[in-house]
Every structure is written in C-alpha cells, then in structure tokens.
Amino acid sequence: MASASRAIKESKGDRIVMAVIYAILSIVLIVVLYPLLFVVSSSISSPAAVSSGQVWLWPVDISFKGYETLFKTPLVLRGYGNSLLYTAAGTFVSVMLTVMVAYPLSRKTIFGRNAIMMIITFTMVFSGGLIPTYMVVREMGLIDTRWALIIPNAIWVWQVIIARSFFHSSIPEELMEAAEIDGCSDIRFIWSIVLPLSKPVLAVLVLMYAVGQWNAYFDALIYLKDAKLFPLQLVLRSIIIQNNSSNITDALKQVERQQLAELLKYSLIVIATLPVLVIYPFVQRHFVQGLLVGSVKG
C-alpha cells in the first residue's frame, strides 16, 4: 500500500532561497553574539591581556581579578543595591499606575475616553523638555531623593497603549456585567478577575519597565547629587568615562591602574546585564504572547 503522506520535494530555487536565508541569519547571529562573547571573555581575562588587545574571542590567562575588585568596592555594591531597589520599586509603581490608567480607558462606560487617550498619546510627540521637567521635580522636593528616579517617569505612554489594547480585546464587557450582578465591586473585579486574566500583558509591562529602570542613568545624573544614591549604571558610566575612581585606589596598588580599570569595564558590564538575562527566560512566554495582543482578529 502506497504511503498516504509524501514529503514535498523542494525545488532548486527553494533550496537556494533557504540557503540565503540561513546565511543571513548566521551573519546576524555572529554580529549579535560576538560582542557578548567578547565582553564575557574580556571580563575573565588577565588585565594585561585585555589592555594589550590580546583578547579576540576566548579568554586569555583566565583571571577573576575584575570581579574580585568590584565586589570589594563599596561604591559598586551600593550602586548594585540601589539599582535593585529602584528597579523593584519603580516597576511595581509603574505597573500599578499603568493598569489604573489603561483599564478604565478600555471600558466603553468611561465618558471621553478617546479624547483622554488622544491627549496621552500626544505626549509621545511633544513633551515639556528637560528644563521644565527639572523645575517640576525640584518644586516637588524630589531632587537628591530616591523618588526622583521613580515618580517622574512612572508611566510610559506606549505601555499604556499596549495594556489598554489587551484589556479591550481580552476582558469583555459581559464579564464585568456578570460580576456586577453577583455584587462584585470594581476593586474586587480588577483584583480577582482582571489581573489573573492579564498575566501576559503584566509580564510585558514588568519586563519593559524593569529593563528600562535597570538601564536608566540619565535621570540619576540630573537629579541625584549624593553618591550614596547612585544606581549601578551611573557607577558604570563613571568608570567607563572617567576611567578612575578614588574608591578603588587601594585595590589597584598591586596591579597597574590603567590595566585594571580597563578590565573593570567588562566585568561591570557583565554584572549589570546579568539580572535581565536571568529574569527574561521566566517571562519570555508571556512576553511574546503579550506583544501579539491585537495582531490577530477574528
């Protein structure tokens, strides 16, 4: 009996197209992967090998001197702790406020919701600028406080649009009407029904806000003066640009300062990107699902 299923034979043109596609994807992979591998290899190579340019792909004279120096530096450890605090607190506040703004705007019962959404979207194109924003932050008494890194940029318009689209397409009006008939309050409905059904978009919001908060340094550069409040990214900027730090002078006594400073750049980059790389695999499935909100109709 002949087999019911037969493999589709690819034509010569199809094989050529697939070969070109794989070649392009391979080049893109190399372009993306090589810098990451170079940074990791440089971070665990000897200071002399890094400063002399001997590291191209694999580590040379493996050494963890950079990591040892960083973890012995109070400024780096304090900055790491500050960044974790800013990221956790900032993400929580941002996600909470985004849901509070996006969900009401997704309901048809809110009067003027389209006009409000248009005003919010308008801020993506036109904003007050740095000086007016700084004056507002100063008048609110947030200069040189931790709140200066959490409150001013707590809500991003693009995240509000994503959350609003999800609530509009995934939380039907009939569900809320049924809950109201059963005597469910608005707060209880959001907490017990809306949030459990919104895990994909919440994962998107958490990841976007967390990555943005973790990588932010400009607000800290503008609003913070006390070094004890500096996030890790500001410490990284100081090391890369100024290439010196009075806090690590003791650690540089036995190794030439310039070599170790060059090594510290790569070690600190690895440490700074590690939390995001650790978190992403756990939210990747929800992240992809949430980004596809509204892409398919019917």
Task: State the total domains in the chain.
Answer: 2
Domain range spanning residue 75?
65-291
- Asked if residue 28 and residue 170 are part of one domain, the reply reads no
pLDDT tens figures, 63-78: 787 787 777 777 788 8
- Asked if residue 245 and residue 133 are part of one domain, the reply reads yes
- Asked if residue 81 and residue 147 are part of one domain, the reply reads yes
Instruction: Tell me what the pLDDT averaged over the chain comes to.
Output: 79
Give the integer Cα–Cα distance in Å for 148 and 141.
9
CATH of the domain at 141: 1.10.3720.10
- Asked if residue 93 and residue 134 are part of one domain, the reply reads yes
Q: What is the pLDDT at residue 2?
A: 47
Is 16 inside a domain boundary? Answer: yes
Q: What is the pLDDT at residue 92?
A: 93
Q: How confident is the model at residue 179 (pLDDT cuts 50, 70, 90)?
A: confident
- Asked if residue 278 and residue 136 are part of one domain, the reply reads yes
Q: What is the pLDDT at residue 228?
A: 85
**pLDDT higher than 50, residue 111:** yes
- Asked if residue 285 and residue 206 are part of one domain, the reply reads yes
**pLDDT higher than 50, residue 204:** yes
Closest C-alpha among 124, 125, 142 to residue 133: 142
Is 7 inside a domain boundary? Answer: no
- Asked if residue 194 and residue 76 are part of one domain, the reply reads yes
Name the more confident of 293 and 85: 85
- Asked if residue 186 and residue 109 are part of one domain, the reply reads yes
Query: What is the pLDDT averaged over residues 3-32?
Result: 79
SS (H, E, C) the chain: CCCCCCCCCCCHHHHHHHHHHHHHHHHHHHHHHHHHHHHHHHHCCCHHHHHCCCCCCCCCCCCCHHHHHHHCCHHHHHHHHHHHHHHHHHHHHHHHHHHHHHHHHHCCCCCCHHHHHHHHHHCCCCCCCHHHHHHHHHHCCCCCCHHHHCCCCCCCHHHHHHHHHHHHHHCCHHHHHHHHHCCCCHHHHHHHHHHHHCHHHHHHHHHHHHHHHHHCCHHHHHHCCCHHHCCHHHHHHHHHHHCCCHHHCHHHCCCCHHHHHHHHHHHHHHHHHHHHHHHHHHHHHHHHHHHCCCCCCC
- Asked if residue 269 and residue 192 are part of one domain, the reply reads yes
- Asked if residue 267 and residue 124 are part of one domain, the reply reads yes
Q: What is the pLDDT at residue 203?
A: 83
pLDDT tens figures, 130-164: 888 888 888 888 888 889 888 888 888 888 988 88
pTM of the full predicted structure? 0.74
Phi first, then psi: what are they for 7, rounded to 5°?
-70, 135
Query: What is the pLDDT averaged over residues 1-25?
Result: 73
Least confident of 67-81, 88-102, 111-125, 149-163: 67-81
Is 164 inside a domain boundary? Answer: yes
- Asked if residue 207 and residue 93 are part of one domain, the reply reads yes
Q: What is the pLDDT at residue 290?
A: 58
Is 38 inside a domain boundary? Answer: yes
pLDDT tens figures, 21-38: 999 999 999 888 888 888
Q: What is the pLDDT at residue 59?
A: 81
Is 56 inside a domain boundary? Answer: no
Q: How confident is the model at residue 277 (pLDDT cuts 50, 70, 90)?
A: confident
- Asked if residue 165 and residue 72 are part of one domain, the reply reads yes
Q: What is the pLDDT at residue 291?
A: 60
**pLDDT higher than 50, residue 3:** no
Query: What is the pLDDT averaged over residues 82-102?
Result: 91
